[in-house]
């Protein structure tokens, strides 16, 4: 996990500040290997590792990710994409106690990431993802309740035009998300939302029949 900041060991132990690469290694491996192994690989003392862990507020059971580490786990080229999800309100995070330049580092909890991916599995390309727990989460979610474009959803709703599906979305009949695409994005609809509309269909029968015959 990339933490583009520096933490100083206590002066009595070391005068060298932690580099972003060292902090990334620490965040990636803390809780997965022993502190002694981390210290050995970073050429630091176990005390220095403990001090950095304290400053980052890492816990062994947390499985925390920075934006860079999360992007890498999801097969995304730029961490800015992850930051964009936060800014849209899709993905929750907390800011750690250390800084990257003038700003504090954003930290993502695995549980929060999993919840986000289950709600919006379409944010990543499954084919480009490395083997990871998140990949299995997304695959299962697609299989359980897939998403469709308006064009794909049209025949499931017994209409021919994608614009008709968009009209249902604007009317509030069909819950949907807007996937980043082009200048304005593209609506996508979950199968469960389509099934819910069909089970309690608000469309006037005459309009539905006319559209279906067009």
- 161, 201: one domain: yes
Domain end: 113, 144, 175, which one? Answer: 144
Same domain (yes/no): 10, 69: yes
What distance in Å separates the CA atoms of residue 197 and residue 108, rounded to the nearest whole number? Answer: 35
pLDDT digits (tens, 9 = 90+) for 121-170: 999 988 888 888 899 999 999 999 999 999 999 999 999 999 999 999 99
Instruction: Answer whether 0.75 is exceeded by the pTM.
Output: no
Residue range 175-193, pLDDT digits in tens: 999 887 777 889 999 999 9
* Cα-to-chain-centroid distance, residue 139: 14
| Same domain membership, residue 134 and residue 68 | yes
Q: How far is the CA of 115 from the CAs of 71, 120, 129, in angstroms?
A: 16, 9, 18
Supply φ then ψ for residue 176, to 5 degrees: -155, 165
Q: Are residues 194 and 132 in the same domain?
A: no
């Amino acid at each position: 996990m990339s933490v583009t900041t520096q933490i100083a060991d206590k002066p009595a132990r070391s005068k060298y500040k932690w580099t972003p690469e060292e902090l990334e290694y620490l965040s990636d491996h803390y809780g997965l290997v022993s502190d002694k192994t981390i210290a050995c690989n970073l050429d630091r003392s176990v005390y220095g590792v403990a001090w950095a862990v304290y400053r980052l507020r890492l816990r062994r059971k947390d499985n925390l990710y920075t934006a860079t580490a999360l992007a890498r786990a999801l097969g995304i080229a730029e961490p800015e994409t992850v930051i964009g999800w936060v800014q849209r309100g899709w993905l929750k995070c907390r800011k750690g106690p250390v800084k990257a330049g003038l700003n504090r580092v954003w930290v993502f909890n695995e549980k929060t990431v999993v919840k986000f991916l289950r709600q919006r599995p379409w944010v990543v390309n499954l084919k480009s993802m490395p083997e990871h727990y998140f990949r299995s989460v997304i695959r299962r979610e697609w299989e359980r309740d897939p998403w469709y474009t308006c064009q794909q959803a049209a025949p499931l709703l017994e209409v021919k035009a994608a614009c008709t599906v968009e009209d249902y979305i604007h009317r509030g009949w069909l819950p949907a998300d807007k996937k980043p695409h082009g200048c304005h994005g593209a609506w996508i609809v979950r199968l469960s939302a389509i099934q819910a509309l069909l089970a309690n269909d608000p469309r006037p029968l005459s309009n539905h029949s006319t559209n279906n015959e067009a």
